[in-house]
Structure 1
């Protein structure tokens, strides 16, 4: 699987078509500028044909698109592991990482906002090394220790998006059960709870706990992630993780349903201030 499913490829084509129109070019004129047949431009714009990152760059030059973040995002949508000849950091791990995980990391690295409901474990962007190691061992039972170490290294490298300029804006809703599950043992959990309290102090991180007292709620459907991107709101995507694959939801009605669900859960969850107090209380008793 390339970067995102066919629906996402059609969205990339629609954005390129809009940029061509803004540049005042017909598809035939655009094709002439880059040395292609008009039918290739048409297939790309309708999503009937996949497009290489190098081709996207050619079109962006032809349309005189100069916004660096927009250029970077559209190039990434083409599914390349490079950006202007520069390899992304996760390319060094491509032999170990399955395509679905590379897709997820690419989404994460390009997003400006991430909203996530977690019902079983702490999200990867907030995990400590020991917690990440315990989760990896449990999820991939029997994996050689050397590969476990590499996957933990990848998970920690992903956390750089919280230290980028500008950083990823992260909103997390944690089911209370996550805070009591002794992943890696009580000592590891205690360290993880401390890490959550530290992360909650970051201005671009909003952390809320969904308490047991909330009773039944829409979050019982399971964990999900919503990615949002700069410049192009229509590229937002919901990601649902399964044991062996990930499902991408990009239809407008799906995005709206999960956005409404997340907003509803935020209303049922403790406030950020109440959540940190709650986490601290659990940590004191651990």
Structure 2
């Protein structure tokens, strides 16, 4: 079974408890209807133990939840039970934390991404992804690099699924000016950003150097939102060797407010696209 980190267990437990309350059941009554001991429902709701998608299905049936999108989302938070995500085939090169990030990304309906150093993975070209992976992890073999690049590109399918992931990205100007892979690779990457900015599901803005200091310089982050309820939102903050999952409501609200401020300080969409085109023309010329 795919590992589910504590943050997702807690979010899942909180949502299941909310649904139980809406159904007008006590934890003991829910356990009786499910054929379980009351302690099992308690452990699930408090996030103290992992839960299989099959158990989530049982509880949703007990609570008469018929919303298919919500049922699918909660199954995703449970790690999809024994259903393997496509990333499972790359488990020999993907850290558990990265697999879990992909699982969150796959189940989300919206992502708000602040990047202060590199192009977001969902918008990278294969050449850029390869050059970046080699620079950041020079110890990897050719096979491992190729596998990680394939994963990076496969992740981008969420932007074209039905319905697509809605991506709002704010890129510090440094992202566009950092020469990853050399001028030719960067020109291709900037061209790809121009094309991505035309997609209705992508809203891309550039935060220019003239904006001065901003909270985004302290670290990149992504806010994932899920269909049906904002109570399941999760913030992922990147570190050098790991990622921090933030799920406290007040912290999520703080990151959401910070992202809105960054959007206000960034160039409008049209001006952002024009800046990317100008920098690409400089590299191509």
Q: TM-score range by the shorter chain?
A: over 0.9
Question: How far, CA to CA, are the matches of 2:64 and 2:88 in structure 1?
Answer: 29
Match of 1:17 in 2: 17
2:50 corresponds to 1:59: no
Match of 2:48 in 1: 48
Match of 2:4 in 1: 3
Question: How far, CA to CA, are the matches of 1:26 and 1:251 in structure 2?
Answer: 25
Q: Which runs of 4+ in 1 moved over 6 A?
A: none
Match of 1:280 among 272, 277, 281: 277
Shift of 1:26: 2.9
Question: How far, CA to CA, are the matches of 1:3 and 1:134 in structure 2?
Answer: 31
Match of 2:261 in 1: 264
Contact map agreement 1:4 1:77 (CA 8 A) in 2: no
Match of 1:36 in 2: 36
Question: How far, CA to CA, are the matches of 2:47 and 2:141 in structure 1?
Answer: 41
Match of 2:185 in 1: 188
Contact map agreement 2:219 2:238 (CA 8 A) in 1: no
Question: How far, CA to CA, are the matches of 1:253 and 1:14 in structure 2?
Answer: 15
Match of 1:155 in 2: 152
Shift of 1:8: 3.5
Question: How far, CA to CA, are the matches of 2:9 and 2:229 in structure 1?
Answer: 14
**For structure 2, which runs of at least 5 residues remain unmatched after alignment?**
none
Shift of 1:87: 2.3
Question: How far, CA to CA, are the matches of 2:178 and 2:55 in structure 1?
Answer: 48
Alignment root-mean-square deviation, CA: 1.5
Question: How far, CA to CA, are the matches of 1:258 and 1:132 in structure 2?
Answer: 27
Match of 2:95 in 1: 98
Shift of 1:165: 0.6
Deviations 1:3-32 (A, max 9, x none): 332x44233222112222323333223222
Contact map agreement 2:131 2:181 (CA 8 A) in 1: yes
Q: How does 1:45-194 map to 2 (within 5 A)?
A: 45-80=45-80, 82=81, 86-194=83-191
Contact map agreement 1:30 1:59 (CA 8 A) in 2: yes
Question: How far, CA to CA, are the matches of 2:247 and 2:49 in structure 1?
Answer: 19
Count residues with an aligned counterpart.
282
Give TM-score, length-normalised by structure 2. 0.94
Match of 1:206 in 2: 203
Match of 2:215 in 1: 218
Question: How far, CA to CA, are the matches of 1:36 and 1:97 in structure 2?
Answer: 36
Give the SS at the match of 1:184: coil
